[in-house]
């Protein structure tokens, strides 16, 4: 799924190494009519900080609410694990992702110039986003 969503996708070994880390968790989602998973997220919560490593929805399932549902599940799990802040990095050109994170209350806290390599050779900036997690159910 990651390969279908990102030009610079991660290897199976990269995923395996991340999933073996302390505090790592993830979610999968699909519509009721779908046979295969359509959206996923992988994140980590350690002490008061949580980070989304990756969140993706297949192109054919975008704008269906799956991404927002996965993001909500990550937020709730991070809170359950005691995190007070959730952060991530996103390609500054990814307008759909930026709208999703804005809708969930994330704010831009920084920029990493030339963070992402892209097939065209022109590196892309990453925006660092974060949201404070309020205690609660």
| pLDDT for position 89 | 94
For residue 113, give its domain range.
2-132
Q: Is residue 128 part of a domain?
A: yes
Q: How many independent structural domains does the chain possess? A: 1
| pLDDT for position 132 | 96
Return d(Cα 49, Cα 133) in angstroms, integer: 10
Q: What are phi and psi of 58, to 5 degrees?
A: -55, 145
Instruction: Order the strands of the 49-57 sheet from edge to edge.
Output: 24-29, 39-46, 49-57, 85-91, 124-132, 107-116
Q: Is residue 121 part of a domain?
A: yes
Q: Is residue 137 part of a domain?
A: no
Grouped pLDDT means (10 residues each) for the chain, 137 residues: 58 73 88 84 93 87 86 95 95 91 96 83 90 79
Q: Are the C-beta atoms of residues 70 and 78 closer than 8 Å to each other?
A: no
Q: Is residue 119 part of a domain?
A: yes
Looking up residue 79, the CATH number of its domain turns out to be 3.40.630.30
* Structure tokens given for 37: 């998973």
């Amino acid at each position: 799924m990651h390969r279908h969503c990102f030009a610079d996708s991660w290897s199976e070994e990269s995923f395996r190494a991340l999933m073996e880390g302390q505090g790592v968790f993830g979610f999968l989602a699909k519509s009721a009519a779908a046979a295969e998973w359509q959206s996923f997220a992988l994140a980590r919560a350690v002490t008061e900080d949580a980070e989304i490593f990756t969140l993706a929805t297949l192109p054919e399932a975008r704008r269906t609410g799956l991404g927002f549902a996965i993001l909500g599940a990550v937020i709730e799990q991070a809170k359950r694990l005691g995190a007070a802040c959730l952060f991530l990095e996103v390609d500054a050109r990814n307008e759909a992702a930026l709208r999703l994170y804005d809708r969930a209350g994330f704010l831009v806290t920084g920029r990493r110039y030339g963070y992402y390599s892209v097939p065209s050779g022109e590196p892309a900036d990453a925006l660092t986003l974060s949201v404070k997690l309020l205690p609660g159910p």
